[in-house]
Amino acid sequence: MTRRSKKTPPANTLRVGMLGPWQGLDPWEAQDLSGVIVRNQCFETLYHRRGGRPQGDRRYLANDLQLETIGPDGKPRYTMRLAEDLRFSDGRLVTPDDVVDSLEHVAPLRAMAKITAAGGRRLQFTCYDSDALLEPQLAQIWSVIGRRSPKFWLGTGPYMMVEESKGEEGQVLVLERNPHWVPVARKPPAIERIVFSTFKTDASGQPTALREAIEAEEIDFTLVLPREVAKGLQGVRKIYQPGQSTAFLAFNCKRPWLDRPEARQALSAAIDPWAIARICHDNPAAFAARGLLPPAMAPTQRSLPKYGASVATAALEAIGDKP
């Protein structure tokens, strides 16, 4: 939600409102919405997904992941080479050791391979299994590259942290444009400075202070104001989007029988997506699950699946070898 301000805000500055205490950013452990937003502005990964496929970022990699050798035990070793001028936001060159230290924070990668720095700005991934798939993990949003400075974490993203303090309310974080960021196809950020302030909820758990700050035109943008509170505000632009909590269905495919698509389809037919969305939202039509995948993985051709007891029963009966 963005404020259409009548007052003159600080020059080229976006003021963002958050809820709850700010405990400091750990780029690899950020789970809350505010932490993820900050991480995505200040840190980037060596791989990105394009058209659903992980691809190496040409700004950061001189050579993508390539098979180097296969050991006598059949386990592969891959290598990649960093771009010559990849730098952190303080101007320091990103070294293979920096990347190794960063990726050691990523548990799935640690479980897949031993990562080491090699000569010529190369990294080596010695896999523990013959069928390890490294690229999808390198493209995950938490597989970022960062380095700790005396005050805060440094990254390679479009913004950099210049002020940070832990606290339950007030200004806690300031970002500024990273002068060493390489835009390539993307344009440099239009906003020069982003100021994050956090607010406490009141005794009844409502975000009254944040709402009042928006009404007073002290905050320009927030993602955390509940729908029932936001709908009463005037002079603001409101955008409602499906949340991950109600926009897709998830199954543990490691459980016996659930690894079969027809079983998951049958079970999902017994779930009323409208009823689930209605629990959380005034307008369930905009938030009901419209497929078995998250919206970001299937943004088009999404239609509400057929559901109901009879549909689920027929789908289960069609499966021949049920447990």
State the DSSP H helix or E strand holding residue 262, giving kind and residue range, or none if neither. helix 261-268
pLDDT for 101:
96
Q: Given this model, what pLDDT does residue 131 score? A: 87
Whether 218 and 253 map to the same domain: the answer is no
CA distance 152 to 5: 32
pLDDT of residue 252: 82
CA within 13 Å, CB half, 144:
24
How many beta carbons lie within 10 A of that of residue 90, not counting itself? 12
- Residue 296: predicted pLDDT: 61
User: Residue 129's domain is classified under what CATH number?
Assistant: 3.90.76.10
- Pair 13, 28 in one domain: yes
- Could you tell me if 158 and 173 lie in one domain? yes
Please report where in the chains the tokens 């005396």 appear, as a residue. Answer: 150
CA distance 304 to 289: 7
Of 237, 256, 288, the residue that ends a domain is 237
**How many distinct structural domains can be found in the chain?**
3
Which pTM was predicted? 0.75
Per DSSP (E only), the strands in 206-267 are 221-222, 236-237
Other residues' Cβ atoms within 10 Å of the Cβ of residue 4 = 10
- 319 and 231, same domain (yes or no): no
Q: Select from 181, 210, 237 the last residue of a domain.
A: 237
Question: Which domain, by its residues, includes 97?
Answer: 47-145
- Shared domain for 269 and 123, answered yes or no, is no
- Output 250-258 pairs: Cβ under 8 A, ≥24 positions apart: 256/323, 257/322, 257/323
Last residue of a domain, one of 221, 237, 253: 237
In the prediction, which pLDDT does 14 show? 94
Q: In terms of domains, do 95 and 156 share one?
A: no
Same domain? For 55 and 78 the reply is: yes
126 in the same domain as 155:
no
One domain, residues 94 and 116: yes
Please check whether residues 163 and 27 belong to one and the same domain.
Answer: yes
CATH number at residue 164: 3.40.190.10
> What CA–CA distance (Å, rounded) separates 243 from 229?
17
Q: From first to last of the 323 residues of the chain, give the pLDDT tens digit.
A: 555 555 555 679 999 999 989 988 989 988 887 888 899 999 999 999 887 789 999 889 999 999 999 988 889 999 999 999 899 999 999 999 999 999 999 999 999 999 999 989 999 999 999 889 999 999 998 999 999 988 889 999 999 999 999 999 999 999 999 999 988 666 788 899 999 999 999 998 889 999 999 989 999 999 888 777 887 788 888 776 655 566 667 788 888 888 888 888 888 888 887 888 787 777 777 677 776 666 666 555 555 567 788 888 888 888 877 66
Q: Half-sphere exposure of residue 83, counting CA atoms within 13 Å on the CB side?
A: 13
203 and 268 housed in the same domain: no
Same domain (yes/no): 175, 214: yes
